Amino acid sequence: MSMIINKQEIKEWIITILTAIVLVIIIRAFILDSRVVPTPSMVPTIQCGDRLFVEKVTHRFKGLQRGDVIVFVPPEQSRLEDDLIKRLIGLPGDTVEIKAGKVYVNNQALEEPYLAEPIQYEYSLVKVPEGKLFVLGDNRNRSYDSHEWGFADLDSVKGKALFTYWPFNRLKYWK
């Protein structure tokens, strides 16, 4: 039995493949991206090597909330090049202070059940400027973050963690 492929079938396959490629490019550019976490700065919440999806849309319409896990372009003063993933602690206008092993936002201690250990440093009271964010890794004592290099730019946020998909035993939906 010989298989005859006509020009119409070839044309349909090419259109299907090109459509799929264009859709993947659009989805990755504007809606959903995949990331591999390269450092232990978010342990125990996210382990080094975890793979997660980052959604890029809702924060543009609904804004960001304290506690969101975000991906953003590092500020120039950090001297880092690769995107970072950290927990959003302070929004524009908030005051942030770290003392006695706790983070205080607007003079209220944050409940942070996701931390593995108490914070072992102090950070003097600061007000988060307009257009800026204060971010910390969940592995507070081993994270290079706002307590070291200052504020992140609000408009540098690329998205919010949506779903950890690898390894399978660490599957997690991020709300």
Q: Three-state secondary structure along 15-77?
A: HHHHHHHHHHHHHHHHCEEEEECCCCCCCCCCCCCCEEEEECCHHHHHCCCCCCEEEECCCHH
- What predicted TM-score, i.e. pTM, was given to this entire model? 0.84
Q: What is the pLDDT of residues 50-95, one digit of tens each?
A: 999 999 888 888 889 999 999 999 998 888 888 999 999 999 999 9
The catalytic residues are: 41, 86
Question: What pLDDT, on a 0 to 100 scale, did the predictor assign at position 1?
Answer: 47
All domains of the chain in start order, with CATH: 7-173 (2.10.109.10)
